[in-house]
């Protein structure tokens, strides 16, 4: 009898233990599912004491917030999926609850704020959506605009707009210009910049210095004056001491018998002093100073200086002032009489006479600068 009773007690204990284990497992699973969203208020007494100090609208709003979150929890998922309707209801309810951070159970406060910002952006994106705009012009009106433009080439968009107004048709000036773009060729507004330069280049000269170092590492200065129209080098001078008086004398030698340009382009070098300006004014030449650090303002002369270095001085050891003067004079003669230039249509600054070009005979080469270049002419 005692043994049977003990067996019944053991079986009851085992049954109770199994039920308790199942209960604990269920509670643990529920806690694992919702522990990350626990409210901040952990005791019933603290929550009740705080509720006594709140107003009725606050309590009603918080109850509605909690009720909505409980409805979401009833779906029995590990991480509850919040729909758009839930978001649309949670965000305005939070605005009615003062302690909404403590009342949130499902999501973090940062998530709710992100929903609010997304809703704000969506609202103003919808309000800022462009409207339908102006109604398009009828096809008959567009055809009439193009007809008026073709029959009246001197009329602009404003005059066509006035003609349409007389017919009872309304159209904006910009709308008319839109339909005129492909119908008319652009009006010539005067001569082009290339034409302007071509017309005034024969009356403009340019001058500049080219520093050179001789064999003994002593500085030399070559002074060039060239014409912009023909690309001809008018004058070349060499010195070791380029003073104001020397530069003024070079200008006198470059303009004999009062033959000179109307304007002379130069830079802001201190070598151009008062004497140089006096000689230029006495010869009726206006000096044009280039801007500081703007070599393109004197581009033709700068290009010649680069050609003189690449085609002559980079291949010659300069022994002294007389040697540099002889080399440059020979190079300038070749540059003016034999070297073709792209800027003037592959012609030379000093073209040979027609009799020299049209005569027949074998072609002979004449060396220039010791064979650095060659000049080709037909033999007599």
Name all contacts of 341-348 with Cβ < 8 Å and 24+ positions apart. Answer: 341/231, 343/231, 343/300, 344/230, 344/231
Please, which residues bridge with residue 16 across strands?
Answer: none
Q: 222, 238 in Cβ contact below 8 A?
A: yes
- What pLDDT does 315 receive? 94
User: What distance in Å separates the CA atoms of residue 336 and residue 334, rounded to the nearest whole number?
Assistant: 6
Burial of 375 (0-12, 13-18, 19+ CB in 10 A): middle
CA distances from 56 to 64, 67, 95 (A): 12, 16, 15
State the CATH class of domain 200-350.
alpha beta
Measured between alpha carbons, how far is 260 from 263 in angstroms, rounded to an integer? 9
The whole-angstrom separation of Cα 290 and Cα 204 is 14
Predicted pLDDT at 35: 40
Residues listed for the chain = 380
- From start to end of the chain, where are the E strands? 204-213, 219-227, 233-239, 263-266, 286-289, 363-368, 373-378
| Structure-block tokens of residue 98 | 């003062």
pLDDT tens for each residue of the chain, 380 residues long: 555 666 665 676 676 667 656 655 655 565 454 443 444 444 545 666 676 677 878 878 887 887 777 777 656 556 667 788 888 787 877 777 777 776 776 777 788 788 888 888 888 888 887 766 677 888 888 888 888 888 887 778 888 888 888 888 888 888 888 888 767 666 656 666 667 777 888 999 999 999 999 999 999 999 999 999 889 999 999 999 999 999 999 999 999 887 889 999 999 999 999 999 999 999 999 999 999 888 888 988 999 999 999 999 999 999 999 999 999 999 999 999 988 888 888 888 888 776 666 667 788 888 999 889 888 887 76
3-state secondary structure 57-126: HHHHHHHHHHHHHHHHHCCCCCCCCCCHHHHHHHHHHHCCCCCHHHHCCCCCHHHHHHHHHHHHHHHHHH
Backbone angles phi, psi at 98, to 5 degrees: -75, -40
What is the crossing angle of helices 157-166 and 173-180, to 10°?
120
The ranges assigned to domains in the chain are 38-127, 139-180, 200-350
Task: Give the CA angle between residues 11, 15, 17 to the nearest 5°.
Answer: 115
pLDDT number for residue 234: 94
List CB contacts of 97: < 8 A, sequence separation 6 or more: 58, 61, 62, 65, 103
Q: Is the pTM of this model over 0.85?
A: no
């Amino acid at each position: 009898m005692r043994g049977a009773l003990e067996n019944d007690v053991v079986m009851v204990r085992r049954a109770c233990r199994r039920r308790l284990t199942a209960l604990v497992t269920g509670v643990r699973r529920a806690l694992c599912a919702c522990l990350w969203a626990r409210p901040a208020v952990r005791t019933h007494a603290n929550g009740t004491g705080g509720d006594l100090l709140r107003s009725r609208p606050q309590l009603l709003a918080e109850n509605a917030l909690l009720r909505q979150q409980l409805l979401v929890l009833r779906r029995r998922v590990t991480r509850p999926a919040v729909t758009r309707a839930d978001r649309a209801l949670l965000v305005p309810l939070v605005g009615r609850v003062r302690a909404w951070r403590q009342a949130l159970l499902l999501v973090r406060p940062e998530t709710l704020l992100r929903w609010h910002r997304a809703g704000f952006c969506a609202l103003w994106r919808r309000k800022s959506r462009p409207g339908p705009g102006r109604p398009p012009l009828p096809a008959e009106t567009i055809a009439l605009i193009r007809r008026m433009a073709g029959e009246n080439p001197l009329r602009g968009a404003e005059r066509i707009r006035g003609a349409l107004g007389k017919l009872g048709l309304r159209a904006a000036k910009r709308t008319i210009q839109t339909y005129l773009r492909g119908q008319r060729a652009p009006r010539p507004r005067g001569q082009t910049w290339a034409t302007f330069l071509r017309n005034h280049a024969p009356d403009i000269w340019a001058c500049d210095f080219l520093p050179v170092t001789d064999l003994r590492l002593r500085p030399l200065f070559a002074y060039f004056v060239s014409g912009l129209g023909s690309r001809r080098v008018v004058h070349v001078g060499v010195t070791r001491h380029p003073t104001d008086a020397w530069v003024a004398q070079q200008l006198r030698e470059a303009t004999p018998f009062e033959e000179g340009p109307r304007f002379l382009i130069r830079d802001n070098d201190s070598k151009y002093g008062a004497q140089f300006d006096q000689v230029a004014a006495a010869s009726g030449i206006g000096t044009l100073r280039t801007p500081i650090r703007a070599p393109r303002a004197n581009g033709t002369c700068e290009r010649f200086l680069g050609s003189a270095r690449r085609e002559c001085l980079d291949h010659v050891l300069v022994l002294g002032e007389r040697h540099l003067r002889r080399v440059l004079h020979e190079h300038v003669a070749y540059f003016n009489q034999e070297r073709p230039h792209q800027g003037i249509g592959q012609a030379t600054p000093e073209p040979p006479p027609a009799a020299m070009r049209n005569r027949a005979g074998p072609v002979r080469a004449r060396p220039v600068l010791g064979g650095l270049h060659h000049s080709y002419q037909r033999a007599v």
